[in-house]
Amino acid sequence: MSIEFTPTEMMTIAAARALTNDDVCFVGIGAPSAACNVARLTHAPDITLIYESGTIGTKPDVLPLSIGDGELCDTALCTVSVPEMFRYWLQGGRITTGFLGGAQIDRFANLNTTVVGDYDKPKVRLPGGGGAPEIAGNCGQIYITMALNKRGFVDHLDFITSMGHGEGGDHRAGLGMKTKGPTRVITDLCIFEPDAATKELTVVSIHSGVSRATIEENCGWPVRFAETVAETPVPTTAEISVLRDINARTKKAHEAA
């Protein structure tokens, strides 16, 4: 019997599947946090989740509203200072995977969370980078989770907050960055991976029921498709159950607060 699911649920579960037991993962708030905790509660129980506030090995029962949510510290193996987190753990190369989102992304997986429009007189001033630029530069690899639409997937960024693959090709390495950068962008319609040579985001998997035309209509640049494009496996009953359960607990806890 098939189970019904929303595009957001498909995106979250596809993102969760990218993680393994061996990952030490720097988690962003929002969709990345949901994906990482679904992974922890399903196929990757030994994954180590780290949040920017310094919580290491945290196992939240409800999803945090921010990096300062007490749930993270209460359920962590230990909590270290933010300077130690960034200098020793992140810049020390001890984190395998960073999980980020953003307001805008371009075809080379650069992220903007700073401004839309002119920096001094922007159309929209966004929350800023926080720790994302350092996460993007120092984690072994980066996964990005964003809903696919023309507002977020744009041909040109007015500001690059977090470096992806720069101008493509070997630009990132040419800047002295030794980590892989973004290796996967998981959306509600499909999954992108950077082309091995050009680093341009390329569709490698399409979610069930989604057409190529729909992907093209919702992206702000001409979409490239891999020579062989897979169909993303639909969520299992167990995956959907875990995701909905943690979302329900989170909603109940936050409404009570």
What is the predicted pLDDT for the residue at 255? 83
Q: CA 19 to CA 12: how far, in whole Å?
A: 12
Structure tokens at 177: 């960055």
Span 50-106, pLDDT tens digits = 999 999 999 999 999 888 888 999 999 999 999 999 999 999 999 999 999 899 999
CATH topology classification for 7-256 = Glutaconate Coenzyme A-transferase (3.40.1080)
179: buried, middle or exposed (CB in 10 Å: 19+, 13-18, 0-12)?
Answer: middle
What is the predicted pLDDT for the residue at 1? 52
The model carries a pTM of: 0.94
The catalytic residues are 52
What is the predicted pLDDT for the residue at 8? 96
Q: Quickly list DSSP for 48-72.
A: EEEETTSEES---SS--SSTT-HHH
What is the predicted pLDDT for the residue at 182? 98
Q: Which residues of the chain have pLDDT under 50?
A: none
Q: CA 202 to CA 184: how far, in whole Å?
A: 10
Span 25-38, pLDDT tens digits = 999 888 889 999 99
Of the candidates 220, 221, 214, 210, the one whose C-alpha atom is nearest the C-alpha of residue 151 is 220
Q: What is the β-pairing status of strands 78-79 and 55-56? A: antiparallel
What is the predicted pLDDT for the residue at 2? 67
What is the predicted pLDDT for the residue at 253? 87
Quickly count: other Cβ atoms within 10 Å of residue 142's Cβ: 27
Of the candidates 88, 94, 110, 100, the one whose C-alpha atom is nearest the C-alpha of residue 131 is 100
AA letter at 221: W
What is the predicted pLDDT for the residue at 198? 98
